[in-house]
A and B are shown apart, each in its own frame.
Chain A
Amino acid sequence: DAGITQSPRHKVTETGTPVTLRCHQTENHRYMYWYRQDPGHGLRLIHYSYGVKDTDKGEVSDGYSVSRSKTEDFLLTLESATSSQTSVYFCAISGPDLGYEQYFGPGTRLTVT
């Protein structure tokens, strides 16, 4: 699993509440990513980071923000959760030390009621 953990693993929250998901890695890989997985869509890129304080938007970034203040942590925040953000969220890591191959964490199942 390339030393990737995600927390929480499961969360149920109400519409309009803020939610933060955490991705933690133990091996100082440079690149980190957040994806969401929905039925019929495969995985879609939300945000990514090439280093500390270096982040950018992916294809489905509306309603999400990210922060990376330390190499090992990449946080995904839903400022005001909506039912359309019910999904499974995956974090991934990559970097030159991995030959740029991406490795995924175990996922977080988020339900917004």
Chain B
Amino acid sequence: GIQVEQSPPDLILQEGANSTLRCNFSDSVNNLQWFHQNPWGQLINLFYIPSGTKQNGRLSATTVATERYSLLYISSSQTTDSGVYFCAADYGNNRLAFGKGNQVVVIP
């Protein structure tokens, strides 16, 4: 089946810093989603981005489907950005394969 790999696995940021999270996938995908899991375990939708670039406030995402990767940018990080970021690839019939996540800690 499709493999989804995220890097880096762990990241510690000083508040105000910028960062880039990467998601590589091993096969063609129909769509790609990014989620944020907050410290209470809730999964929050960030982006639904099969290709191109989208922005939402301090976050933006880019997917290059032909090269099988997606990037999530966090600018001017805040402590509320802490948590785990997951990318998930739709490998057919709206089924998602998840990466193992990027654990992000933002320190004040």
A15 within 8 A of B: no
Query: Are A106 and B42 in contact, CB atoms less than 8 angstroms apart?
Result: yes
A42, A103, A104: the one contacting B100 at CB < 8 Å is A42
The SS class assigned to the B binding surface is: strand
Interface size class of B (residues with CB under 8 A): 20 to 34
B1, B42, B96, B100: the one contacting A102 at CB < 8 Å is B96
B48, B86, B98: the one contacting A99 at CB < 8 Å is B48
Number of interface residues of A (CB under 8 A): 24
Residues of B within 8 A of A (CB): 1, 4, 31, 33, 35, 41-43, 45, 48, 86, 88, 90, 93-101
Residues of A within 8 A of B (CB): 31, 33, 35, 40-45, 48, 50, 58-59, 88, 90, 94, 99-104, 106-107
